[in-house]
Chain A
Amino acid sequence: MGVAMAALTGAWTAPAFAEDSIYIQMPTYRTGPYAGSGIPIANGMVDYLNMLNERDGGVGGVKLMVEECETGYDTQKGVECYEAAKAKGTVVFNPWSTGITLQVIPKAGVDKIPVLSMAYGLSAAAEGNTFPWVFNPPMTYWDGASGVIKYIADKEGGMDKLKGKKIGYIFLDAGYGREPIPLLEKFAGEFGFTLMQYPVPPKEMQNQSSQWLNVRRDQPDYMVMWGWGAMNPTAIKEATKIRYPMDKFIGVWWSGGEDDARAGGADAKGYKTLNFNAVGSEFQALSDIKAKLIDAGKSQTDAGKLGENLYNRGVVNSVIVAEAIRVAQEKTGKKVITGEDMRVGLENLKIDEARLKELGLEGFMAPMAISCGDHSGHNMMYVQEWDGEKWVKASEWFEPMTDVVKPMLAAAADEYKTKNAPWPERTEACAN
């Protein structure tokens, strides 16, 4: 067996890709309890990059070698995917799980692989000077939490109206759901509302009757949800069961899958979530995906699901990757870039209105920019509402409360640094 293993590992270490292509490993999960959320995202990510290969011959004339690695949202397998990705020389790693992100954050700098955790993972990683290898655009969970509170205050007619209100927070009791709590607690103290927490253990996420029984007893004025996978449809179903007013139930952007809201059927009408990408398939780039891939049978995507919220979310992730590769190619003058070049590309990433138009994605997402010190950008979001059949836009694009979030992020980054001492100082130059 030892010989067989040696032979196999030999096969892995040999360059499995041509010299004139860029290898990107995409950890995805199409199996397990989170597959409901994972499949559309995986499709969106892979389709956009493959479409670039088909339409433009890759980025800057270099083909992208896209390979999926199944994690099943499991941290052990995620680390295995990371090691495999490292061996094959991926230019960027997208963990797609807060748990896996936390594992790879310390490794990224050592292995020179930038980690792109798009609007998930460690909020403090937005501090580029502490975490030069980690990127979490377009915004962090803390931005999201501040956005929810801002939106609620807007509806109530001002921040001062929050006083005495009860806001319930139902969350997946893991790193992901616990991330925004420090910010929400701070806000509760500052604005005088009561924060009521309803943790949902991952094992019990399909059985939330006890949590919602408590919600019925406590009668919070608003409910905020940080859910993922099978937790979302269950929560929405339970909320309709206790007849919680759905227009006062607001989820984070990860609780906004079509299949999540569909579970509540017509009763879920009025349920809201944050979002940072448009829903729908009326975009040039998505039509190209349909023409080049779906109609040609080169994609796993069901034509009817093209343009759904989480699918488009996956596309956003790949837009960031592809654009960062383009910037990296420009900055370094190289065609085939490495992980170190990719880091420079991500750090100088700027996607403005004009660029979005060029990409055929006008209005698909808010313009975003990443800089040396700010790896998130704290970009804009909007609120969408379920009308019983599909998502509709329910607010204008608005900014998170960056002025509150930024100092907290800096403090959290410093805390991370001291807790994980000796944390390496940033040695990478700012190439702006």
Chain B
Amino acid sequence: MFYREAGQFKTSYEADQQVFPILQDKIGIGAILIIGLVVVPLTGSDFMITSIMIPFLIFSLATIGLNILTGYAGQLSLGSGAFMGVGAYACYKLTTIFPDANLVVLVLLSGFFSAAIGMVFGLPSLRIKGLYLAVTTLAAQFFLEWCFIRVPWLYNYNASGAIEVPERTGFGGIILSGPAASPLTRYFLVLGLVILITIIMKNIVRGRVGRSWMMIRDMDIAAELIGVRPLVAKLSAFAVSSYVCGVAGALMVFSWLGAAEPAAFSINLSFQILFMAILGGLGSLVGSFMGAAFIWILPVLIRFGMPAVGIDIAAETVEHTTRMIVGALIIFFLIVEPHGLVRLWQIAKEKLRVWPFPYV
């Protein structure tokens, strides 16, 4: 009744090919943007912005990166954590070499280093597929993590072996990174980049390049016969995916954590991102946000929400309970809908379309 596109006629190809062709979707995305850009900054506490929103946006971005590769191009990867690390270390090196350069530019540049490394480790994908490819990306994960520990040049020979974010200003003297950067500045920086990259990715995946990825994913031999070059398609998927992951990694260190040990980019991070992608829904950008929200926001809400509503239990019990609840919910959602949260959302939309009738 409320969610129905009846009566919304498209009179041009442009109107027909919009990202959000339906009016209600446009209103919805506008509302989400207003919440993100206005409501959250105005009402959110520092804790909510720094510990919930910023990590959520960064994880969403990383999940989009992995989704490009695994969801759209069908190449299973366990190396996203390491590719995030490449972005972070690249950004760290860049900002030590060019301390006066704008941080946003450096963050965007650092993705290219990650993309280059991703392409190198993507080469085996031309020969091997599926689980075997997962093993080679796992090798990338371990190799890169080893580099972060063993190549002292990467962390400027710090005795601690960690990278620490220096203070950087930009856009007319606003402090963008470092401990003195205000949570709101960091939030807007992250949000701006996430919106920008999401728009670009949406247009890539629905264009020629994205379609060639999906063809490779669905049937690579058929795709090759039609004229898609697997080398170009697979390597471009690796490059774009690693680029996005790299930017997410740089943001993770510069806008969220403030310092990072190599262990921050361990296999656990790769798994975390992979679970977000699978749970949210492979091959969907909205799903990336949903998965990240589910895996990051829900535990924080349970962890800090339980004491806040008066359930007074010990800290480690909260931790155990959180793990049990989240674990059970993951299993529940995957049984109910193996295609992820985004599929549930689509089903809900279809039902809404015919509501109040069961079918039309």
Q: Which residues of A contact B (CB under 8 A)?
A: 1-2, 4-6, 8-13, 16, 28, 30-31, 67-70, 72, 75-76, 79-80, 83-84, 86-87, 98-99, 102-103, 106-107, 109-111, 122, 124, 173-175, 178-179, 181-182, 201-203, 300, 412, 419-422
B313-324 interface code vs A (CB 8 A; 1 in, 0 out): 011101110000
A103/B305 in contact, CB under 8 A: no
Complex alpha-carbon distance, A68 and B317, angstroms: 11
Which residue of chain B has the shortest Cβ distance to A10 in the bound complex? B45
Q: Is the C-beta of B154 less than 8 angstroms from some C-beta in chain A?
A: no
Give the chain B neighbours of A79 by CB distance below 8 A.
51, 256-258
Min Cβ gap A143→B in Å is 15
Whether B44 pairs with A179 at a CB distance below 8 angstroms is no
CA distance A241 to B47 in the complex (A): 49
Q: By CB atoms of chain A within 10 A, which of B35, B47, B264 has the most? A: B47
Docked Cα-Cα span, A98 to B160, in Å, equals 9
Query: Are B301 and A5 closer than 8 Å at their CB atoms?
Result: yes
B220 within 8 A of A: no
Determine whether the beta carbon of B44 is less than 8 Å from that of A103. no
- Contact status A6-B43, CB under 8 Å: yes
Find B156's partner among A83, A87, A419 (CB 8 Å cutoff): A419
Q: How far is the CA of A110 from the CA of B300 in the complex (A)?
A: 25
Residues on B with C-beta less than 8 A from A175 are 160-162, 261
Number of A-B contacts (CB under 8 A): 136
Residue of A nearest to B264 (CB): A75
Bound Cα distance from A420 to B258, whole angstroms: 12
A102 and B159: CB pair below 8 A?
Answer: no
Contact A173 B149 (CB under 8 A): yes
Partner of B47, one of A9, A16, A72, A203: A9
Q: Is B126 an interface residue, CB under 8 A from the partner? A: no
Complex partner residue of A83 from B51, B158, B303, CB under 8 angstroms? B51
Task: Indicate with 1 or 0, residue by residue over B181-211, a CB within 8 angstroms of chain A CB atoms.
Answer: 0000000000000000000000000000000
B179 close to chain A: CB less than 8 A: yes
Q: How far is the CB of A118 from chain B (nearest CB, A)?
A: 18
CA distance A275 to B308 in the complex (A): 39
Q: Which residue of B lies closest to A124 (CB)?
A: B159
**Chain A residues whose CB sits within 8 angstroms of the CB of B258 once the complex forms:** 79, 103, 106-107
Give the shortest distance, in Å, between B289 (CB) and chain A (any CB).
12
Q: A68-B316, A182-B159 are in contact. List 7 more A-B contacts (CB 8 A).
A: A8-B309, A9-B47, A30-B319, A102-B162, A102-B164, A106-B178, A178-B159
The contact size tier of chain B is 35 or more
Offer 11 A-B interface pairs, CB within 8 angstroms, sorted by A: A2-B35, A8-B305, A30-B314, A68-B314, A68-B316, A84-B47, A106-B259, A110-B179, A173-B149, A174-B161, A182-B159
- Flag B4-47 by CB within 8 Å of A: 1 or 0 each: 00000000000000000000000000000001000110011111
* A86-B46, A99-B263, A102-B164 given; A2·B39 CB < 8 A: yes
Residue of B whose beta carbon sits closest to that of A142: B159
Min Cβ gap A210→B in Å is: 15
Q: Are A202 and B263 in contact (CB under 8 A)?
A: yes
Q: Contact at B318–A70, with CB atoms within 8 Å?
A: yes
Contact: A102 with B47, CB < 8 Å?
no
* Complexed CA–CA distance, A420 and B167 (Å): 8
- Cα separation A192 to B308 with both chains bound (whole Å): 59
- A230, chain B: closest CB distance, angstroms: 15
Known: A8-B305, A175-B261, A422-B167. A84 touches B160 (CB 8 A): no
* Complex Cα gap A173–B315 (Å): 28
Assess whether B52 is interfacial by the CB under 8 Å rule.
yes
Residue among A83, A84, A201, A202 with max Cβ neighbours from chain B (10 Å): A83
B304 sits at the interface (CB 8 A): yes
Give complex CA distance A203, B146 in Å: 12
B1 is an interface residue with CB less than 8 A from chain A: no
User: Taking the nearest CB of chain A, how far is it from the CB of B135, in angstroms?
Assistant: 17
- Smallest CB separation, A228 vs chain B (Å): 13
